[in-house]
Every structure is written in structure tokens, then in C-alpha cells.
Structure 1
Amino acid sequence: MPFANYKFPEGILDHARKEEIIHRTTAMFVEYFGEEVRPYTVVLVEEVADGGWGRADETLTLEKMGLPPKRT
């Protein structure tokens, strides 16, 4: 079963962008493995709270990455 797990800072993706990621990822798996994998493809789009993740021993925030604060 093809599986993709994307993690994004909370609030930077709206519903339409999440849906686009799911559709495009599914299309990529189908292109690579064939149409028979479509019903078994799982795409998980997760949002991580601001400051809830890091890289190279540094906690990352939207501000540190130069991104606008999350949408409310």
C-alpha cells in the first residue's frame, strides 16, 4: 500500500491546498505503480503546532523560517 505522510506548520495550508497535495501524491503513486494502487493509496497531511518541531538541534517556528503567522 503506497503511503505518504506530510507534516506542515499548523495553519499554513488551507483545505484546498491539502486536497491538492492528496490528489497530486495519489497521481504520482498511480503513475509510478499503476492504476491498481489508487484504492490502496494513503496520504496523510498533518499539521504540527508552531515550535513543535525542529532540525539540527534547533526548534523551528514560523517566525524563524520567515513565514507569516498562522491563519485564524
Structure 2
Amino acid sequence: MPFANIKVPEAALSRTQKEEIVHRVTAMFADYFGEGVKQHTMVLIETVPDGGYGRANEVFIVPEAYRAKD
């Protein structure tokens, strides 16, 4: 069973965008492994709260202007 675990900042993606990611990742796995894997493919999109991630000693907060609008 193909499995993808995608982590994104909280509020960075709308529900529609998350659904599109699920469809595209599933299609990608089907391209690699064949159509039969679609029914067994799991795509998990996890959201990480603001301040719960960072890089190079900088903690990230998603600016209001970049937050998804559902």
C-alpha cells in the first residue's frame, strides 16, 4: 500500500487544496505502480501549529496574508 505523509503549516492550505493534493499524489502513485494501487493508497496531510516548526534557529509563523481562505 503506497503511503504519503505530508506536513504543512496550520492554515496554509484550504480544504480544497488539501483535496487536490490527495488526488494528485494518488495519481502519481498510480503512474508509478499502476492503476490497481489507487484503492490502497493512503495520503495523510498533517498540519503543524504555528511555532511548531522552524529552520536555522528561526521559528515560523504563517503571516495572515498567506493563510488559506476556505
Please classify the TM superposition score into its range, dividing by the shorter chain length: 0.7 to 0.9
> Can you give the 5+ residue segments of structure 2 that lack an aligned partner in the other structure?
none
Larger mean CA deviation between 48-57 and 26-35 belongs to: 48-57
1:12, 1:48 → 2: CA distance?
A: 10
Count of aligned pairs between the two proteins: 69
1:71, 1:24 → 2: CA distance?
A: 19
Query: Does residue 5 of the first structure (1) align with residue 2 of the second (2)?
Result: no
Ranked by relative contact order (alpha carbons within 8 Å, sequence separation 6 or more), the top structure is 2
Q: Which has more helix, going by share of residues?
A: 2
Query: Match for 2:65: what amino acid?
Result: P
**Pairwise CA RMSD:** 1.9
> Can you give the 5+ residue segments of structure 1 that lack an aligned partner in the other structure?
none
Query: Does residue 53 of the first structure (1) align with residue 53 of the second (2)?
Result: yes
Q: Percent identity?
A: 52
So what's the TM-score if we normalise by structure 1? 0.80
